[in-house]
Structures are given as C-alpha cells and as structure tokens.
Structure 1
Amino acid sequence: MLRRVITLFVAFVLLVGFGVAGMYLPVPYLVASPGITLNTIGEDQEGGPVIRIDGEDSYEHDGGLSMVTVQYSGGPSSRMDLFTVLSAWLSPSQAVLPEEALFPPDRTVEEISKAQSVQMNDSQTNATAAALTELGVDYDTHALVAGVGEDMPAEGEIAKGDIITAVDGEPVDGKEEVVEEVGDRKPGDDVDITVDRDGKAEEFTLTTAKGDDGTPIIGVLVRNDMDFPVDVDISVGDIGGPSAGMMFSLGIMDRLSEESLTGGHKIAGTGTISPDGSVGAVSGVEQKMVSAQREGAEYFFVAEGACSQTFDSAATGDIEVVKIDKLGDAVDALKAIRTGDGADDLPRCEPKQ
C-alpha cells in the first residue's frame, strides 16, 4: 500500500514538473502590445523636427498629430514561452497572433525587414503627394521602370531606370496611365513604347504577352516617380511599414500652413495613404488606440475599413474615434475640432449589426 502511495506521489510530482516545464517551452506565437507614439509636428528622438521641409516656408504649431505603433514580441529568432503568451492573452491591451502573421514561412526576417523599410519610404512619398494635392500644389509624376521580367516582351529593350513617356504616341504621366493604355489592347497586339533614357528619347515596338489574368502585358514593373517642388524629409528612426501615411500627410500640411490644423488639440491616428488621398485600413488598431490614449490624445483618426477593430480595444470609450475615408475628411474633422463647429457630429465608426 505504501509503495503504491509513493508511486502515485512521484507520478504526480513528475506530472506537475512536466506541466511547469512545458509552460516555459518556446512557442510559435507573437504578442502585440501598444507601441510608441511620435508627434509628426513635433521633435524626433534626436531633438530635431520629425518633418523637415526645404524649398518653401514652413511653420511650427502647438498640438499633436501623432502616428502610433504596435510593438511585437517573439518571432523565429526570439520565441517566447507559453507562460508569457498566456499572460498576454489575458491582458486587455495585448493580442496574441500566430507567428506566420508577421513572419511567413517562405520569407526570411531580413526580407521582411527590408520590405517594411520600403513600405515606410513609399508611405512618405505618397504622404507628400497627398498633402500637396490637398493643398492644391502641382507636382510632376513619371512612370519609372522599376524592373523588367525575364522572357517578357520588354526584356532586352526597355531597361530598369527608364521613364515611360508615351504609349503609341500618347503621353502618359504615371503608372496608372501606362497600365490603362497597354490594357486597351489584346494579347498579341503590337504597342509602341517611348522612354526617356538618360535624357534621350528611345522608342520600342513590343508585342504584348498574355498575363496571368488574361490581360495584355509587356513585362515591366512600373512605379510612380514624383518630382515635388519641395523637399520633405521625415525622421522616424527604425519604424517600418505603411500605416503612418495619413498622419504624415497631415503633419506635412500643418508644416506648410500658416494656421495650425489642430488648434492646439492632440490627435492621433493610423492608416495608409495613396497619392490621391485615399486612406487605407491597417491592423493593430486595438493596441494603437491604447498608445494614443496613454499619450493624452483627445481624438483617434482611423480608416473606415478598420472601424471594426476600434470596438475591441482596451481604450474603447476613453478616446473619441473619428472615421476617415479620404485625407479631405481628416482635414474637415480637424477644422471641426479646431473651431468647435460640428465637433459633435464628426463621422463615427458604427458596430456591425
């Protein structure tokens, strides 16, 4: 009898020991926590302006137009233990995600980091374009060839760095016009492409191929190259990704405007930006709202497509959320907040029925 009791006791101790040990085994999950905020009309971590503008008068105003971030813990090279992940799962201000949400198995950490840096750079360019467009400032857009596909009609003819200036003799300004002009044909049709190569015009006749979706293609990767009348430099350190685009645009506009956009109020927000001013949804809104609340923001601007996330944040009900679809909507909301005229009628996110 005594032997049986001892055996059961030892088994229980081992079971508990294995359970405790299991709590400290690394697991393939990420923890998303509220990250840092950075006032786009304030100073960076080095004490200089986050947004510096050369080539035009710029102004400094009180208030805040803050970008907000999410801090991710874990990952393939620094996995957390199960106990830490479970603790985060119980936290109202954190979220637990599968590792592949940020680190797809077919991409290296270095590739992901590089992509995030590219997205940040593109968001700054798009933000400048959107801000200038909203202010009515003209700038030039060129269709820059960023790459040429192998075994494609353009290979050996058009080169990376060329600027496409015309399609079948019709001038084009930007990627969208190139895609539209080439897309008006059928696969197998000839198309004349004129490029500017080192200041010299070159013309090529290419036979279009059939793309994966059945549309005619010539096999070039084109992106918009914008020539702005002002130089905009944005300093954000090691932060990556495209989600600060909207707040960058508002920060640029505030710097270029004699009158403050905020009137001294503190606003935070998140959303991508397109050159035409369209604001896109991003993830991590739940944690970003907490970051904004902790920094004393009075209002939180969010893209319409991310509205559903705003109801799951620990800061829900403690910060005013304003729904934004276009950059112009954000400008109108700031005017209402600044003047007090219509501030109670700002567009809000509505819960899904």
Structure 2
Amino acid sequence: MPRRTATMLASTLMLIALLCAGVLIRVPYAEMSPGPTVNTLADHDGEPVLQISGHRTYPADGHLNMTTVRVTSADFRMNLVEAVYGWLARDSKVVPHDTLYPDGKTEEQSTQENAEEFSQSQESAKVAALKELGIPVKSWVIVSTVVKSSPAEGRLHAGDVIKTVDGTAVKQPSDVAKLVTRHKPGQAVVFTVVPAKDQAAAEKEHKTATTTRKVAITTRASDDSGAKRAIVGISAGTDHTFPFGIDIKLADVGGPSAGLMFSLGIYDKLTPGDLTGGKFVAGTGTIDDDGTVGPIGGIDMKTVGARDKGAQYFLTPAENCAAAAKDTPGGLTLVKVKTIGDALDALKDIRTGHTADLPRCTSKS
C-alpha cells in the first residue's frame, strides 16, 4: 500500500475513533438556547395573555414581548461532540451543569421552583402596574411556606395572614424573621394570625377577615454554621387583593424574568393610547411590588431570540447591561432600565421617535 494511501487511511480511522469517543464521553455541562418570545399584548394558544375584567381596558397594538431561555433537562448528559458544537454556535451557550441545577436539583424540583417564581412574578407585575397607575392594592404578610418537621409544622399553614409576632405588628415579610430571632433557641414566640381558610372566605365576599387566633411556637436553633439563630421553620411572603380581575394566561413558562414585561402589558391595556407606538419592543427583568427591575440569567440568549423574532428594542435590566452589550445582535437597541418608570419613559421616547434620548447599554454599564 502506498505510503500516502496508508497515511490517509490511518488519519481517517483516527478521526472516526475520535468522533466515536466524543459521542461516548459524557461531560458535566448543560446547554442554553433562545426560547419562545410571547407578545403580552396579544393572544397565545388561542386566548389573550392578559385578561382583565371589572375595569375599562383599551386596545393595545405593537409588541411588548417577554423572552425565555430553553435549557436542557436536569437528567440530560451532554457528550463531548455536543459540547464542542454548543461552544462554537452563536445561538446557544454551554454552561456547567451545576449552574442550572445546583446541589443536585432534580428536574421536578427545578420545575416546581420555576413555577413558584413565575406565579410570584405575576403577582408583583400586577402590583407594580397598578401602583404606577395610582390604583390602590391591599397587601398583607402571609406564611408562604412551612418547613417539614419544623416547630411550625401543623401549627401554622401556608396562606395564614401574620398580623403580629409577640404583639408587634408585622408590616413586611422581613419583620417576621427579625422578631423571631430576638428570641433564643428554645424560647416561645407567639403569632397572631388570620387562618388561611378564613382569609380566603373573606376575600371571596370582598370583606376583611376579622377572625384571628394566637399560636405559641417553641423555637429551635438554626442549622447555620457559627452562631445559632432561633427559628420556627417558616418563610414569610406577601399576598394581595386586587380591585378587579387580572389574569395572566401563559403555560409552560417558569421563573421570575417576565415580571417587567407583564407589568408593562397590564399598564398598556389599562391606559388609552399605545405604549410602543406600533414598534416591536421586547425585554426581560424581574420586578418587585415597588416596580424595581432586577437582573436575570441567560440575557445573551434572550436578546438573540428577541432579534430573531423581529424586535427593534430590548428593555434590559441595568445589572445585565454590560453582559448583553458584549455581543448585541445586529439591529437591536439595548435600553437600560432600573424601574418600571424607566421603562415607561423609554417607551415614550420610542413611540415619539426621540430614540437619541434612550439610556443605552454599554459594555461598561
């Protein structure tokens, strides 16, 4: 066999062997890629994304698209060839598996956590939009979760309204932990609560619940390293009563990052005129009850997905700006926002054509 032929054959066999090895070798990575974008002003799967009842609404044209990221499942094990392809591709990103699923989190646990975050983001989006419009929203502190086998299990329940702790009125979720940790482990703390079922019944009749009960719970030491805190085993959250119906209908989406775009969509439907001026605006960002916009993950995948769908402007959380600006898709303007007020100001500039005034993202901010 001629030397040249032998060399080519050996090279071919080696290449085949490397490819086979690459397919068989599993690596501890996962992949992110652009997910669907959904216009919050329009229909999705045959029904409006935002459904408002009991209050006047107005037609809203244009696009206020929320964006998503598609990720590989927790039990998916990427091979070396897939990882290399993902590293080279512009429309996907390979990251350590633990980045998406820390502490061995299962697919079921991740899905549940994302669903809870998505639900909370919807509530905060409603509150932020109504506050911006000057529409009152009633709020109170509730028991959000009860830790299994904790002192509070069976004594307090998710949805109970926390009125006081040791007689001190509770106004914010953070007040609960502050009041409990004034105790030493082993001491009793007294909660005054409205039971969840009584609160639900009162809300259904648009009344204020008046039935309360006192619950004494003996604290235990926290599992923290170092100094031990007194805990009862609950997390506190906030619940709201809205003056009219606002429903967000969007299945198969999780996480908190659509909060900003939901709040803008609600605001647009409750006000005359058109926030976007018919422009295609997309964006992302968490939002809290006060309208503060927070950072999210996968920003580079979201900008790619938005531009692929035709977005011209992308509302970007200020803390994500530097990362997003490093590889901005052509034709997409990244607009920096810190609050819902910033976003509304930017939309005004966009619809009136004053785009030179937009606060743009740069690689340094």
Return the TM-score normalized by structure 1.
0.86
2:325–2:334 contact (8 Å) kept in structure 1: no
Matching of residues 263-274 of structure 1 within 5 Å: 263-274=277-288
How far the C-alpha of 1:312 sits from its partner, in A, is: 3.2
2:173 corresponds to: 175
**Pair 1:93 & 2:91 matched:** yes
- Residue 21 of structure 2 aligns with an amino acid whose one-letter code is G
Partner SS for 2:43: coil
How far the C-alpha of 1:205 sits from its partner, in A, is: 4.2
- Pick from 203, 209, 212 the counterpart of residue 201 of structure 1: 212
**Compared CA separation, residues 332 and 210, structure 1 to 2 (3 A):** farther
143-152 or 218-227, which deviates more? 143-152
1:70 corresponds to: 69
- 1:292-311, Cα deviation, whole Å (9 max, x unpaired): 11222221111111112212
1:321 corresponds to: 334
CA RMSD of aligned residues (A): 2.9
Matching of residues 44-193 of structure 1 within 5 Å: 44-46=44-46, 48-73=47-72, 75-77=74-76, 79-104=77-102, 106-149=104-147, 154-155=152-153, 157-182=155-180, 185-187=182-184, 191-193=189-191
Partner SS for 2:246: strand
**Compared CA separation, residues 27 and 235, structure 1 to 2 (3 A):** farther
How far the C-alpha of 1:157 sits from its partner, in A, is: 3.7
185-194 or 332-341, which deviates more? 185-194
**Compared CA separation, residues 255 and 180, structure 1 to 2 (3 A):** farther
1:93–1:313 contact (8 Å) kept in structure 2: no
Aligned length: 347
Structure 2 residues not aligned, in runs of 5+: 199-210
166-175 or 205-214, which deviates more? 205-214
**Compared CA separation, residues 145 and 105, structure 1 to 2 (3 A):** closer
- Residue 37 of structure 2 aligns with an amino acid whose one-letter code is T
Partner SS for 1:287: helix
Distance 1:52 1:126 in 2: 16
1:36 corresponds to: 36
Distance 1:156 1:240 in 2: 30
2:364 corresponds to: 352
1:287–1:313 contact (8 Å) kept in structure 2: no
Distance 1:124 1:311 in 2: 28
- Residue 67 of structure 2 aligns with an amino acid whose one-letter code is V
**Compared CA separation, residues 81 and 209, structure 1 to 2 (3 A):** closer
- Pick from 316, 334, 350 the counterpart of residue 337 of structure 1: 350
1:299–1:321 contact (8 Å) kept in structure 2: yes
How far the C-alpha of 1:196 sits from its partner, in A, is: 1.0
Give identity over the alignment, percent: 37
**Compared CA separation, residues 244 and 156, structure 1 to 2 (3 A):** closer
- Residue 299 of structure 1 aligns with an amino acid whose one-letter code is Y
Partner SS for 1:88: helix
How far the C-alpha of 1:236 sits from its partner, in A, is: 2.1
Distance 2:145 2:69 in 1: 32
How far the C-alpha of 1:191 sits from its partner, in A, is: 4.3
Return the TM-score normalized by structure 2.
0.84
Distance 1:24 1:149 in 2: 43
2:253 corresponds to: 239
How far the C-alpha of 1:133 sits from its partner, in A, is: 1.5
- 1:330-350, Cα deviation, whole Å (9 max, x unpaired): 111112222234x31222223
